[in-house]
Amino acid sequence: ATAFDIQDALDQLGIKQTNLGTSTGSNWFSSGEEIASHSPADGELIGKVKTTTKEDYEKVMTSATEAFKTWRVMPAPQRGEVVRQFGDELRRLKEPLGKLVSYEMGKSYQEGLGEVQEMIDICDFAVGLSRQLHGLTMHSERPGHRMYEQYHPLGVVGIISAFNFPVAVWAWNTALAWICGDVCVWKPSEKTPLCGVACQHIAARVFKNNGLPEGISCLINGDYRVGEMMTKDRRVPLVSATGSTRMGKIVGKTVAERLGKTLLELGGNNAIIVTPDADIKMTVIGAVFGAVGTAGQRCTSTRRLIIHESVYDKVKDAVVAAYKQLRIGNPLDQNNHVGPLIDTDAVKMYQEALDRVVQEGGKVIVEGGVLSGEGFESGCYVKPAIAEAENHFEIVQHETFAPVLYLMKYSGDVHNALELQNGVNQGLSSAIMTNNLREAEAFLSHAGSDCGIANVNIGTSGAEIGGAFGGEKDTGGGRESGSDAWKIYMRRQTNTINYTTELPLAQGIKFDL
Ligand code: UN1
């Protein structure tokens, strides 16, 4: 891609260098110090965004809490109509937004478009859901009484998102929160602030066109100190946070101290179990896309291949051969499979992981390394690496957000593989490659994978929006996106109505006056 392409995308998204951080046109009143956003693709400065000060934050919260009063009383299907319009805007702007995601975050343009597609899909899902916020009715034990439950809007939902999915994770949260009648305050990653600004522009325009207060969608910018304003704030009943387990533990504890709710979607350490009769071709595609897609920076990225000893060499050779085909380079060039890591700190962590695995006794079989020279000036491009390792190695137990894949062997039956696969602290995504019904069902059974996502003959990454997304253990336990994940964005109320002239007490208690 050329700088011109990006300028064109920025223009279409309404991002002007001069208005970053002012309150005009959209609800982000930030006036603090500037964060500069550099593209990991070519190291160029894309733009600067002002951070949110304590005073800015108060203005945002005033605007959000006021907007909630209007939004919560609008019928849910009408809120759905607004989200439908938002989805249409995303359809119209899919290419420039996908380009910005690719350029600011570094994932391939295809994946940038895919991310915007996830936003569109969740909008469609939310529109349908806006007529299906169902509660149950139940039979009262008392005569002439009726019981039912209903779901009401919760209030201000705080969203903290990570750099790796700089727009989709926000949409998973907002599209649902909005139809549920909530208003959202979003702190995007300080590594991808312009994606945040672009989305805020789109949302602000849709709300404005509908004569609705812009406080329904708010943006705050900065690092963890800005996030902390929300986690400590009782006016934010739910904080949805996506990122590292380290961050999630702090957010979870801080919000729990005030008994607020959290939705945590944290680290993964995802494995594919490759069984004796796995389809090798499918295994290779799933494993390689899972390990090197988004340069290994998905929470669902494949980190471990647990391969049966009888097919170990065959699978290893096929994966190593596939790595030789990988083209690394500018993510906006559609010929490339692998783009850069987000920044040079991430490169350092990648290098440390490769050193560590060797120190612990592992064997590197596809050499890594940092690329330099023409096209790699940003210093963020690394070679996807593969190491043979053991599950108990400390580095293998740790989520390294980079394209480092660990291979390990199992013998005996699938339960031995499951022990390795479950033998990590994280519990997000998992997969088995098998054509054996018994193995597949054992993997999916009560005694099988302990992850929030368990796939058969599919890799670990690339989940559809229709299912609930999230995982167990150090992954944080939250579920966002599809299925009934919407429930966390609402408060639940049980209602009992007496339509008689008597007042019988429950449990048969007598209380006569
Ligand atoms: C993330 O990495 O935080 O399942 C989200 C996937 C994507 C979402 C990943 N749909 O890989």
Could you report the per-residue pLDDT of 307-326, keeping only the tens digit for each?
Answer: 999 999 999 999 999 999 99
Q: Which range (41-55, 176-190, 218-232) has the least confidence?
A: 41-55
Q: Tell me the pLDDT tens digit for each residue of 190-232.
A: 999 999 999 999 999 999 999 999 899 999 999 999 999 999 9
- The ligand 1 atom at the shortest distance from the C-alpha of residue 463 is 4
- The ligand 1 atom at the shortest distance from the C-alpha of residue 465 is 10
pLDDT band at residue 21 under the 50/70/90 scheme: very low
Residue 108: both structure tokens together: 């391939």
Best residue among 117, 240, 247, 469 to mutate for probing ligand 1, ranked by most atoms within 8 Å of CB: 469
% pLDDT > 90, the chain? 93
- For the chain, give percent helix, strand, coil, nearest 5: 40, 20, 40
Q: Is the minimum distance from the CB of 29 to ligand 1 under 6 angstroms?
A: no
Q: Is the minimum distance from the CB of 298 to ligand 1 under 6 angstroms?
A: yes
Place of tokens 């609008």: 74
Q: How far apart are CA 415 and CA 164, in angstroms?
A: 33
Taking the centre of ligand 1 as the mean of its atom positions, its distance from the CA of residue 511, in whole angstroms, is 57
Task: Work out the number of other CB atoms within 10 angstroms of the CB of residue 74.
Answer: 16
What pLDDT does 5 receive?
A: 77
What pLDDT does 25 receive?
A: 40
- Catalogue the active-site residues: 265
Q: Which range (27-36, 67-76, 135-144) has the least confidence?
A: 27-36
Taking the centre of ligand 1 as the mean of its atom positions, its distance from the CA of residue 117, in whole angstroms, is 13
pTM for the whole structure: 0.96
pLDDT band at residue 468 under the 50/70/90 scheme: very high
pLDDT band at residue 30 under the 50/70/90 scheme: confident
Nearest to 230 by CA among 202, 250, 203: 250
pLDDT band at residue 31 under the 50/70/90 scheme: confident
Is the per-residue pLDDT at 14 higher than 70?
A: yes
Q: What are phi and psi of 495, to 5 degrees?
A: -120, 130
Q: Tell me the pLDDT tens digit for each residue of 64-73.
A: 999 999 999 9
What pLDDT does 28 receive?
A: 58
Is the per-residue pLDDT at 18 higher than 80?
A: no
What pLDDT does 144 receive?
A: 97
Task: Work out the number of other CB atoms within 10 angstroms of the CB of residue 497.
Answer: 10
Please give the average per-residue pLDDT across 489-508, as a whole number. Answer: 97
What pLDDT does 15 receive?
A: 83
Q: Whose CA is nearest to atom 3 of ligand 1?
A: 299
Q: Are the C-beta atoms of 144 and 502 separated by less than 8 Å?
A: yes
Q: Tell me the pLDDT tens digit for each residue of 435-455.
A: 999 999 999 999 999 999 999
Please give the average per-residue pLDDT across 366-388, as a whole number. Answer: 97
Q: Is the minimum distance from the CB of 299 to ligand 1 under 6 angstroms?
A: yes
Nearest to 385 by CA among 366, 360, 401: 366
Is the per-residue pLDDT at 27 higher than 50?
A: no
What pLDDT does 29 receive?
A: 62
Is the per-residue pLDDT at 461 higher than 80?
A: yes
Please give the average per-residue pLDDT across 111-129, as a whole number. Answer: 98
- The ligand 1 atom at the shortest distance from the C-alpha of residue 268 is 2
Is the per-residue pLDDT at 22 higher than 50?
A: no
Mean of all residue pLDDT scores within the chain:
95
